[in-house]
């Protein structure tokens, strides 16, 4: 029998739409927290996308309808706040304040409440649209993505929203663990700037501006995608031992040190490309895996999911990717996504 989740007993309220905030609280629900979505009468906007989309971000939660613009809605909010440990809000700053969803506005009802504001640019910033692709463009992420001689590009999934959701969940738990109520401010902008880490450090400390390298790593060579006889191979050579094993298998001479490979990046990439052209990506992966060389054939999403059946769960008539956290002795009980207002009459 599974033990209670590590967050059993934690009561979290959520106000928000679509992705970043709901993703954060779903991760908490997967770990045993009781999460209640406080939805406007029309519901979270993601309900309008599709049932499967909504389920992918909201399984295992409860739903209570609240019109926060009315005295009745505010009264119900304050009732729920009294019994909550945390409130996570994913709205623009003016709405967060207008609806009284900050710690200062709610501390009268619960001094120990942790309030997390997840916004595009920060709780004290203006109401500038803070959507995923906009933030990726504004923080330099898009400029680093794509071919060197091509336009900037965006990744094929919502990296800013998902990353900010993880950061918001961490910030919420950190303040809960402190035992103090208070305000936590998480923005998509700050999260994406933080994830630039070594790129930002190179510029701030050495004046080295990051370049768009077509997905190649800025420091490790070769570390990028390569075409093969069939399909593409991701190769990630981070030290000389990996290179020796790969070069011996691929029949490449020279470039023994990372310094040499970095200085001769173009020559190394050309040599690796030529060597990999003699076999398929799948075969190269099979050849390099026993050698401990980091490499993988590029898979489609359907192919990746087919190879990871243990990551897929079923709940509420939907097949979804389960929690990324594997906790010893605990197996999440994945509840279905809530119907709009399903828990209106509950505390």
Catalytic residues: 161
Say if residues 320 and 22 touch (Cβ distance below 8 Å).
no
Measuring CA to CA, which residue among 192, 28, 196, 40 is closest to residue 116?
28
Beta carbons within 10 angstroms of residue 197's beta carbon: 9
Main-chain dihedrals φ then ψ at residue 44, nearest 5 degrees: -55, 135
Would you tell me how many other CB atoms lie within 10 Å of the CB of residue 305? 14
How many angstroms separate the CA atoms of 315 and 297, rounded?
Answer: 31
Quickly count: other Cβ atoms within 10 Å of residue 314's Cβ.
Answer: 11
Residues 6 or more apart whose Cβ sits within 8 Å of residue 301: none
15-36 residues labelled b (16+ CB within 10 A) or e (exposed): bbbbbbbbbbbbbbbbbbbbbb
Angle CA(164)–CA(166)–CA(169) in degrees, nearest 5? Answer: 105
Instruction: Write out the two tokens for 181.
Output: 């109520």
Helices (H) and strands (E) in the chain, counts: 14, 11
Q: Please answer whether residues 85 and 10 qualify as being in contact, where contact means their C-beta atoms are separated by less than 8 angstroms.
A: yes
- What 3-state DSSP class applies to 215? coil
Dist. CA 153–CA 173, nearest whole Å: 34
């Amino acid at each position: 029998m599974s033990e209670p989740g590590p967050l059993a007993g934690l009561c979290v309220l959520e106000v928000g739409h679509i992705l970043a905030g709901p993703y954060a609280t779903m991760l908490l629900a997967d770990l045993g927290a009781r999460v209640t979505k406080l939805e406007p009468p029309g519901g979270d906007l993601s309900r309008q996308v599709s049932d499967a989309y909504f389920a992918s971000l909201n399984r295992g939660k409860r739903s209570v309808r609240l019109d926060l613009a009315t005295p009745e809605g505010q009264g119900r909010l304050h009732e729920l706040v009294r019994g909550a440990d945390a409130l996570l809000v994913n709205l623009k700053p003016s709405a967060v304040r207008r609806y009284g969803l900050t710690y200062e506005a709610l501390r009268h009802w619960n001094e120990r409440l942790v309030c997390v504001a997840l916004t595009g640019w920060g709780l004290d910033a203006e109401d500038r649209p803070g959507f995923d692709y906009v933030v990726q463009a504004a923080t330099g992420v898009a400029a680093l993505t794509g071919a060197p001689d091509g336009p900037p590009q965006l990744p094929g999934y919502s990296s800013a929203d998902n990353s900010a959701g993880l950061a918001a969940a961490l910030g919420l738990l950190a303040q809960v663990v402190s035992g103090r109520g208070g305000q936590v401010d998480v923005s998509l902008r700050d999260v994406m700037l933080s994830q630039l880490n070594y790129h930002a450090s190179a510029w701030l400390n050495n004046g080295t501006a990051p370049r768009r390298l077509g997905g190649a790593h800025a420091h490790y060579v070769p570390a990028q995608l390569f075409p093969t006889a069939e399909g593409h191979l991701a190769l990630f050579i981070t030290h000389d031992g990996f290179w020796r094993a790969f070069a011996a298998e691929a029949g490449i001479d020279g470039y023994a040190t990372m310094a040499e490979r970095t200085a001769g990046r173009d020559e190394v990439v050309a040599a690796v490309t030529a060597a990999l052209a003699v076999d398929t990506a799948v075969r190269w992966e099979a050849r390099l895996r026993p050698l401990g060389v980091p490499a993988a054939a590029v898979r489609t999403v359907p192919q990746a999911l087919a190879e990871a059946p243990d990551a897929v769960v079923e709940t509420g008539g939907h097949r979804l990717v389960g929690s990324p956290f594997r906790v010893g002795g605990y197996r999440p009980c994945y509840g279905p996504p809530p119907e709009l207002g399903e828990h209106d009459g509950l505390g």
